[in-house]
Structure 1
């Protein structure tokens, strides 16, 4: 998803530049015309029209190229603002934008929605033992496996250094639990080759479902509380938080 900044539009500077270039060219040509003798004016006038046409075409071509460059640059800036550089998943800012819309659609229909928070178990220990490069490779591989196990319509983001958030659209708690366990078991069986080393990891998952009165904050608060219970009760498991519990 590409989000354009509402505070910036490349059209305005392009228009100003076009006006300035055209005005400057026209002023220069007119000065040359009036400075010439009467006998040369007819010839100069024809040349003036031709030069104006050529100048206009060149100006349009240059502005079109500049516009494309500005738009491309703006898109890269927008992408960097909402995407995580390592995993290329949405970051928390990008997730907030997508999640608010998903919640609104689910509550308006209404349709079920499940929220998961996933955390790599003992990640700090893995990082200190194998190094940052291996940890980054591990997270990149984990992100790919995570997206491979959900639908294109679902929302996945990197929530923090070792945690990921997932919204499952049109998914109730029972089916959400099945998906969570499928992901957990897949990661447990996976082997990650990082910096010449073979790493195995497990994950803990907190799961909850959307309720009519939920905000994004209350929904994720329940999922986070479920994740903490999963970590405190041994890790490598999925815990479900009751929908009407409140952990603000």
Structure 2
């Protein structure tokens, strides 16, 4: 599923213009043919066929080029609409598209699915002390390390300024907790060099698992509650809000 810009609706007008031009060319050529003397009609008929063929080929080439240019531009617009420009991860709109499909697949199979909500600790303080450029570089580095800590099948996106959300496919709560702790401990040991400064950062995580009647909203609400507990109890930790799960 992709987001469609107004350019997508220009394909039909483009074909309509081409059809009108072709029809006009054909009408003018036919009028000239019937207005000519009989002695020159045979020659004009051959010329007409040749011109029609050349015109059709030129029009086909032009339409093909224009169509590809519009599609290419449309794809760039779609990407900009669903990707975060700083980290190049899906943004919330892109996440919604991916997450709805992941929830549907997990509930249909059924298969376990674990959700993580991560937030960089004391990010506003770091931003005040070191400036926006340094913290932008920090976010880029963190996003890269987070992505490399996960499988290609997992879904990760930038949720807000300093928060990221992850869906671990085919992963139960116990395994998800191990992954969350691995991420937390790994980030704690990282050294991010941003604008000539070494920044140390920790991360708090909230975790839950998908249930049969969950919606995306209810799933993320539980991860948010768990994250708030992690922040309120000292940060740099993982908290779990785990209802009874048939996968445990």
Q: CA offset at residue 47 of structure 1? A: 0.8
Contact 2:5 2:77 in 1 (8 A): no
3-state DSSP of counterpart to 1:58: helix
Taking the aligned partners of 2:119 and 2:217, their CA distance within structure 1 comes to 18
1:107-154 Cα offsets, whole Å, 9 max, x none, are 111111100000011111111111111111111111111110111111
1:145-165 Cα offsets, whole Å, 9 max, x none, are 111011111110100010000
3-state DSSP of counterpart to 2:168: strand
Matched, 1:115 2:115: yes
Taking the aligned partners of 2:44 and 2:194, their CA distance within structure 1 comes to 72
Contact 2:120 2:163 in 1 (8 A): yes
Taking the aligned partners of 2:33 and 2:49, their CA distance within structure 1 comes to 11
5 Å matches for 1:158-197?
A: 158-197=158-197
Which 5+ residue runs of structure 1 have no aligned equivalent?
none
Q: CA offset at residue 190 of structure 1? A: 1.0
Contact 2:191 2:199 in 1 (8 A): yes
Which residue of structure 2 aligns with residue 77 of structure 1?
A: 77
| Superposition TM-score, scaled by structure 2 size | 0.93
Taking the aligned partners of 1:192 and 1:210, their CA distance within structure 2 comes to 34
**How many residue pairs are counted as aligned between the two chains?**
243
Taking the aligned partners of 2:86 and 2:24, their CA distance within structure 1 comes to 48
**Cα RMSD between the aligned structures?**
1.6
Taking the aligned partners of 2:142 and 2:37, their CA distance within structure 1 comes to 79
Matched, 1:98 2:74: no
Contact 1:4 1:75 in 2 (8 A): no
Contact 1:10 1:67 in 2 (8 A): no
Which residue of structure 1 aligns with residue 65 of structure 2?
A: 65
Which residue of structure 2 aligns with residue 40 of structure 1?
A: 40
Which residue of structure 2 aligns with residue 141 of structure 1?
A: 141
Which residue of structure 2 aligns with residue 52 of structure 1?
A: 52
Which 5+ residue runs of structure 2 have no aligned equivalent?
none
Between stretches 34-43 and 137-146, larger displacement belongs to 34-43
Which residue of structure 2 aligns with residue 5 of structure 1?
A: 4
Contact 1:184 1:236 in 2 (8 A): yes
